[in-house]
Chains A and B, each alone.
Chain A
Amino acid sequence: MNSNQWDRRQFLRTAAFSATPLLMRGTPAPPASPSSRMIGLQIGSVSFVDEGTEQVLDIVQQKGAVNTLFLAVFTYGRGIAGRQVPGQPLPDHGKQEYDLNFHGGNFATPHPQFYKNTILKETRAPDHGNLDILETVLPAARKRGIKTICWLEDVFRADIPNIGKLQEVDLHGKNATTLCFNNPDYRGFLTGLVEDYATSYEIDGLMWGSERQGALSNSLGAMHGGLHSDPGRVTCFCQFCQTKARARGINVERAKQGFLELEKFVRAGRAGHRPVDGYYVTFWRILLNYPEIAAWEMLWTDSLRETYAAIYKAVKSAKANVPVGWHIWHNNSFNPIYRAEQDLQVLSQYSDFLKMVMYHNCAGERLAGYIDSVSQTIYGDTPKQLLLDFEYSVMNYKERSYAEIPFTGLSSDYVFRETKRAMDGIAGKPTLIWPGIDIDIPTATNHSRCTPQGTKDAVLAAFHAGAPGVILSRKYSEMKLANLQGAGDAVRQLSSAS
């Protein structure tokens, strides 16, 4: 590692906490010193192509005080790559038009020797011709002392050659658009991909993220946007998963029966048919009758964790000093079941850092969306406001009312509390917590929007709670410069105060 790369010894110093019992942690982290703070920014290749590498680096350094790029190098999703999402206002920089022909894939150069253990080989992103974004950005960034972390996500499209053989299989045996972590070709692809990045480029780290959860939570629609989830399309029930389940002692047929019962429960709830014994009780009846549902949920979660471990190992084998970490989905703030599955002490075994998503502004409509969904399933007995109050209590933050939050977003106190919780949760481990900060993540028309002050407050809250870094999210191409400046102002304020 050169001088621009992280000094892990320094990180370990900031993370030297006393050991605490597995479930009860609470020792807060000492605050990071201003000089060691990681100020990351997620950015896609199109921004460099549209605005010029040097100009973009100038802007993000000057306005956002950014010292680390999280460069979207692999994704088929336009949440972290591409220009602004069509239909959303274009920001005050970059090309003033939408990239309606966005495709996605690997924005660097796939080197075939790393993809021998997978049938998934043709993933080169065609969006920018032969441009290799890592080759383009790495030297320019390094020259300025800016680090570059590869940022990859678990989002694929349906027309990639051979993708059908890697896709998950739903409850009724149909292919899903998502890929299965237990499919050797997907595992082989992911480990090959990260090995390629770590070996072929002088990167400063790697972050991968999967914004998905298991069949139980998906069936219940326990996530923002879950109102429209289909309990019959939950995953994964492919042969690889079934084999793995049997090896774990799970009765596959009973698991399927259980999920079919759950599907009926959810469909009835969504149709407004209240169970005689109530939603919550009936859900528990199904779970108690079919504990295999919980076992299957954990099978899925463990498979994701094993993927983390495999990626971690692959990168470390290629370059031991390249930090590896994970983007943890925003659902961590909404769904207690998903949060239960994000045991930071377990994740720390293969995580140098964790980007914990706590997007304060879009969280308002997302939380309301979560409430909308689960108020028809597991929590169908409770009016939405009462359910939101319950949610605030179990998730340990308190914000505005159900009617207000889509129009106000959540406050910086939410960011503070979620950061502190994560810091407490990782206590005793060297893993770094980097809160993901919302800068202009699109929301519905008329819903709340980010402001410079709100952004500044969110960043300050993260640092006040002890975070050693932040990641400005989701992508530079959707951020207004004034809001980016708000984040930078917070960093500068903290630096000048110290």
Chain B
Amino acid sequence: MSEIDRRTFLTGVASGLTGVASGAAVLNASASAQTPGAKPSISSQNIGIQIGSVSFLDEGTEKVIDILQEKACVNTLFIASFTYGNGIASRQLKGHPLPDHGVQAYDDDFHGGNYATPHLQYYKNTIIKDVKAPDHGNVDILEMVIPVAKKRGVKVFTWSEDVWSPNVPNVDKIQEKDLYGRNARTVCFNNPDHHNFLLGLMEDFTRSYDIDGIMWGSERYGAFGNMVESVHNRNGNDPSRVTCFCNFCQAKARKRGINVQRAFDGFHMLESWVRACRSGQRPTDGYYTTLWRVLFRYPEILAWETMWNDSVHETYDAIYKLVKSIKPDMQVGWHVWHAHSFSPFFRAQTDIQELSKYSDYLKMTVYHNLGGTRMETYITSTRNTIYGDMPIDQALEFEYRIMNYRERGYEELPYTGLSPDYVYRETKRCVEDAKGTKTQIWPGIDVDISNMDPSFSRCTPPVTKEVTLAAYRGGAQGLVISRKYSEMKLANLAAVGDALRELKIA
């Protein structure tokens, strides 16, 4: 691991900006920070940015790193190294405005996979072998970027996520099974071939490249959560497609003392409940009460949910132990799904004290702008299930109380996003949760995340700056600018840097 030269970084920190009071002032400050030739500052704290390989290829490695250092004081690249999703890799999503940098075209032929070079010796224990991303020919993004970044004192983390393509050879053999035994698109954490693939991938990254850390993320939860609510689907998910009920999960369940047949029966009853509720049939005893009735009748539903969640955490643990056994100084951490801000069930399962046992850091997603539509989506998805008894505004009010932040009304949310106060509160909560552990909290902040209706709220420099300040006011020990450089406007990126300079963090 290359050590960051603090003396170098501290040079130039003395010119921190203070007292920015208006949007115009922020923009002026941004402009001054972007003066060509200005020496970039590098913080002792981790100032990370998520970035896909396409940006380096489109804009040039040196140039991209120049921009990131100069505008946003970035000292760590989270390079999308393994994913089949265009949320963190590829250019801007189609249908959304292209940013003011990079190639001004959409990459319609995005494929995804491993953007480095898979070294076969690490994939002996899995049937998943053929994962090289074909998007850029033989380019090995780590081989290409690491030397340039190191030269500038910028760290490189691999950033991998739990998003797969159904076209990957043999992927069907590791896919989850739904309640009716059908293959899902998602893959199962209890499937040895998936587990071994992940370990092989992380070992490959760790041994084959001079990286400084890894981050992996899974934006999923279990069958119970997926049945009764959704962060991404206003109308909720198909309750028959929840996962996972594969043979590996069933065997694990039996070992944990769960009655598999009763679990199936319970989920079938829950499915009936969800379908009836969504079809407009109010239960005589109310939605909330009858949900409890199903859970009491089949506590195996809760046991299955926890088993799913434990399987993710066991995956974290296995990756952590493996990477640390190879390079103890590597920083290993996880991208924690935005659902921790919306779903009390997912937050309940995201016990930071527990996660700290195998986490050097946690990127806690606190996307403020996207958070507006996501909150609106989440609460809408529960309007005919958990919160079916009440008007949606009342449900939102209850939600704000139990999640401990207070934002705009239901109708406004998609058009306003969430505020910097949300970022402050969520950061503070996570930092307090991690108290007494080694785990650092690096909030993931939203800079132009685009997967939302183009008519909804947009990130702006003043708010982006406020959000960054809020994260630090909440006690952040680092930052991960998200989701990907290729969708970010430079003015918003510069606003992050403005905040960091004002705080004298950079």
Instruction: Say yes or no for B149: interface residue by CB 8 A criterion.
Output: no
Residue-wise, chain A 205-221 has the 8 Å CB interface mask toward B (1 for contact) of: 00000000000000000
**CB contact under 8 A between A291 and B259, given known A285-B351, A393-B394, A394-B289:** no
Residue-wise, chain B 293-304 has the 8 Å CB interface mask toward A (1 for contact) of: 111110111110
Find A382's partner among B286, B306, B401, B429 (CB 8 Å cutoff).
B401
Q: Closest residue to B435 on the A side, CB-wise?
A: A276
**CB contact under 8 A between A386 and B398, given known A24-B284, A396-B286, A424-B284:** yes
Question: B299 near A23 (CB under 8 angstroms)?
Answer: no
Question: B276 near A24 (CB under 8 angstroms)?
Answer: yes
Instruction: Say yes or no for A21: interface residue by CB 8 A criterion.
Output: yes
- Write out the residue numbers on chain A whose beta carbons fall within 8 Å of the beta carbon of B398: 382, 386, 390
Find A281's partner among B281, B290, B306, B344 (CB 8 Å cutoff).
B344
Instruction: Say yes or no for B433: interface residue by CB 8 A criterion.
Output: yes
**CB contact under 8 A between A277 and B299, given known A340-B289, A395-B286:** no
Interface residues in B251-297 (C-beta closer than 8 Å to A)? 257, 259, 272-273, 276, 281-290, 292-297
Inter-chain CA distance A424–B282, complex, in Å, is: 12
- Write out the residue numbers on chain A whose beta carbons fall within 8 Å of the beta carbon of B351: 285
Find B296's partner among A249, A279, A292, A341 (CB 8 Å cutoff).
A341
Question: B296 near A297 (CB under 8 angstroms)?
Answer: yes
Question: B292 near A281 (CB under 8 angstroms)?
Answer: no
Interface centre among A24, A26, A289, A343 (most CB of B within 10 A): A24
Find A277's partner among B281, B287, B305, B347 (CB 8 Å cutoff).
B347
Interface residues in A270-286 (C-beta closer than 8 Å to B)? 276-282, 284-285
- Write out the residue numbers on chain A whose beta carbons fall within 8 Å of the beta carbon of B210: none
Interface residues in A318-353 (C-beta closer than 8 Å to B)? 336-337, 339-341, 343
Inter-chain CA distance A339–B389, complex, in Å, is: 15
Question: B292 near A340 (CB under 8 angstroms)?
Answer: yes
Question: A23 near B273 (CB under 8 angstroms)?
Answer: yes
Instruction: Say yes or no for A148: interface residue by CB 8 A criterion.
Output: no
Find A390's partner among B281, B390, B403 (CB 8 Å cutoff).
B390
Inter-chain CA distance A24–B284, complex, in Å, is: 6
Within the complex, the shortest CB–CB distance from A480 to chain B, in Å, comes to: 34
Question: B302 near A281 (CB under 8 angstroms)?
Answer: no
Find A288's partner among B305, B391, B394 (CB 8 Å cutoff).
B305
Inter-chain CA distance A27–B344, complex, in Å, is: 35
Instruction: Say yes or no for A131: interface residue by CB 8 A criterion.
Output: no
- Write out the residue numbers on chain A whose beta carbons fall within 8 Å of the beta carbon of B303: 291
**CB contact under 8 A between A301 and B290, given known A21-B276, A281-B402:** no
Inter-chain CA distance A276–B352, complex, in Å, is: 11
- Write out the residue numbers on chain B whose beta carbons fall within 8 Å of the beta carbon of A394: 286-289, 389-390
Question: B299 near A276 (CB under 8 angstroms)?
Answer: no
Instruction: Say yes or no for A294: interface residue by CB 8 A criterion.
Output: yes
Question: B432 near A276 (CB under 8 angstroms)?
Answer: yes
Instruction: Say yes or no for B315: interface residue by CB 8 A criterion.
Output: no
Inter-chain CA distance A389–B306, complex, in Å, is: 31
Instruction: Say yes or no for B309: interface residue by CB 8 A criterion.
Output: yes
Instruction: Say yes or no for B345: interface residue by CB 8 A criterion.
Output: yes
Instruction: Say yes or no for A251: interface residue by CB 8 A criterion.
Output: yes
Question: B292 near A386 (CB under 8 angstroms)?
Answer: no
- Write out the residue numbers on chain B whose beta carbons fall within 8 Å of the beta carbon of A393: 389-391, 394
Instruction: Say yes or no for B61: interface residue by CB 8 A criterion.
Output: no
Question: A281 near B389 (CB under 8 angstroms)?
Answer: no
Secondary structure of the A side of the interface?
A: helix
- Write out the residue numbers on chain B whose beta carbons fall within 8 Å of the beta carbon of A396: 286, 389
Instruction: Say yes or no for A298: interface residue by CB 8 A criterion.
Output: yes
Within the complex, the shortest CB–CB distance from B475 to chain A, in Å, comes to: 12
Instruction: Say yes or no for A267: interface residue by CB 8 A criterion.
Output: no
Residue-wise, chain A 20-31 has the 8 Å CB interface mask toward B (1 for contact) of: 010111100000
Residue-wise, chain B 372-408 has the 8 Å CB interface mask toward A (1 for contact) of: 0000000000000000011100100110011110000
Question: B283 near A24 (CB under 8 angstroms)?
Answer: yes
Question: A298 near B283 (CB under 8 angstroms)?
Answer: no
Instruction: Say yes or no for A421: interface residue by CB 8 A criterion.
Output: yes
Find B299's partner among A26, A298, A421, A427 (CB 8 Å cutoff).
A298
Q: Closest residue to A254 on the B side, CB-wise?
A: B257
Interface residues in A211-261 (C-beta closer than 8 Å to B)? 249, 251
Find B401's partner among A24, A381, A424 (CB 8 Å cutoff).
A381
Question: B289 near A339 (CB under 8 angstroms)?
Answer: yes
Question: A421 near B402 (CB under 8 angstroms)?
Answer: no
- Write out the residue numbers on chain A whose beta carbons fall within 8 Å of the beta carbon of B477: none
**CB contact under 8 A between A340 and B389, given known A24-B276, A287-B302, A382-B398:** no
- Write out the residue numbers on chain A whose beta carbons fall within 8 Å of the beta carbon of B286: 336, 339, 394-396
- Write out the residue numbers on chain A whose beta carbons fall within 8 Å of the beta carbon of B295: 294
Inter-chain CA distance A386–B397, complex, in Å, is: 8
Within the complex, the shortest CB–CB distance from B284 to chain A, in Å, comes to: 4
Question: B296 near A301 (CB under 8 angstroms)?
Answer: yes
Question: A281 near B276 (CB under 8 angstroms)?
Answer: no
Instruction: Say yes or no for B311: interface residue by CB 8 A criterion.
Output: no
Inter-chain CA distance A343–B272, complex, in Å, is: 17
Instruction: Say yes or no for B348: interface residue by CB 8 A criterion.
Output: yes
Instruction: Say yes or no for A409: interface residue by CB 8 A criterion.
Output: no
Instruction: Say yes or no for B349: interface residue by CB 8 A criterion.
Output: yes
Instruction: Say yes or no for A295: interface residue by CB 8 A criterion.
Output: yes
Within the complex, the shortest CB–CB distance from B269 to chain A, in Å, comes to: 8
- Write out the residue numbers on chain B whose beta carbons fall within 8 Å of the beta carbon of A336: 286, 288-289, 292
Question: B348 near A281 (CB under 8 angstroms)?
Answer: yes
Interface centre among B284, B299, B302, B344 (most CB of A within 10 A): B284
- Write out the residue numbers on chain B whose beta carbons fall within 8 Å of the beta carbon of A276: 429, 432-433
Interface centre among B273, B301, B401, B404 (most CB of A within 10 A): B401
Residue-wise, chain B 408-438 has the 8 Å CB interface mask toward A (1 for contact) of: 0000000000000000000001001100000
Inter-chain CA distance A287–B389, complex, in Å, is: 23
Q: Closest residue to B347 on the A side, CB-wise?
A: A281
Residue-wise, chain B 131-166 has the 8 Å CB interface mask toward A (1 for contact) of: 000000000000000000000000000000000000
Find A284's partner among B293, B297, B348 (CB 8 Å cutoff).
B348
Within the complex, the shortest CB–CB distance from A119 to chain B, in Å, comes to: 32
Question: A291 near B306 (CB under 8 angstroms)?
Answer: yes
- Write out the residue numbers on chain B whose beta carbons fall within 8 Å of the beta carbon of A382: 398, 401-402
Inter-chain CA distance A289–B344, complex, in Å, is: 14
- Write out the residue numbers on chain B whose beta carbons fall within 8 Å of the beta carbon of A105: none
Instruction: Say yes or no for A425: interface residue by CB 8 A criterion.
Output: yes
Inter-chain CA distance A429–B293, complex, in Å, is: 20
Residue-wise, chain A 347-362 has the 8 Å CB interface mask toward B (1 for contact) of: 0000000000000000
Find B309's partner among A23, A279, A282, A288 (CB 8 Å cutoff).
A288
Inter-chain CA distance A394–B292, complex, in Å, is: 12
Within the complex, the shortest CB–CB distance from A275 to chain B, in Å, comes to: 10
Q: Closest residue to A297 on the B side, CB-wise?
A: B296
- Write out the residue numbers on chain A whose beta carbons fall within 8 Å of the beta carbon of B302: 287-288, 291, 294
Question: A390 near B394 (CB under 8 angstroms)?
Answer: yes
Interface centre among A251, A301, A396 (most CB of B within 10 A): A396
Question: B349 near A285 (CB under 8 angstroms)?
Answer: yes
Question: B285 near A421 (CB under 8 angstroms)?
Answer: yes
Within the complex, the shortest CB–CB distance from B43 to chain A, in Å, comes to: 27
Inter-chain CA distance A395–B404, complex, in Å, is: 24
- Write out the residue numbers on chain B whose beta carbons fall within 8 Å of the beta carbon of A425: 284-285
Question: A389 near B305 (CB under 8 angstroms)?
Answer: no
- Write out the residue numbers on chain B whose beta carbons fall within 8 Å of the beta carbon of A298: 296-297, 299
Inter-chain CA distance A375–B295, complex, in Å, is: 22
Within the complex, the shortest CB–CB distance from A386 to chain B, in Å, comes to: 6
Interface centre among B259, B276, B299, B394 (most CB of A within 10 A): B299
- Write out the residue numbers on chain B whose beta carbons fall within 8 Å of the beta carbon of A381: 401-402, 404
Other A-B pairs, 10, CB within 8 Å; known A26-B284, A277-B429, A421-B284? A26-B281, A251-B257, A276-B433, A288-B349, A291-B299, A294-B299, A297-B296, A337-B292, A340-B296, A393-B394
Sample of 7 A–B contacts (CB below 8 Å): A281-B344, A285-B349, A295-B299, A340-B290, A395-B289, A396-B286, A421-B284
Residue ranges of B at the interface with A (Cβ–Cβ < 8 Å): 257, 259, 272-273, 276, 281-290, 292-297, 299-303, 305-306, 309, 344-345, 347-349, 351, 389-391, 394, 397-398, 401-404, 429, 432-433
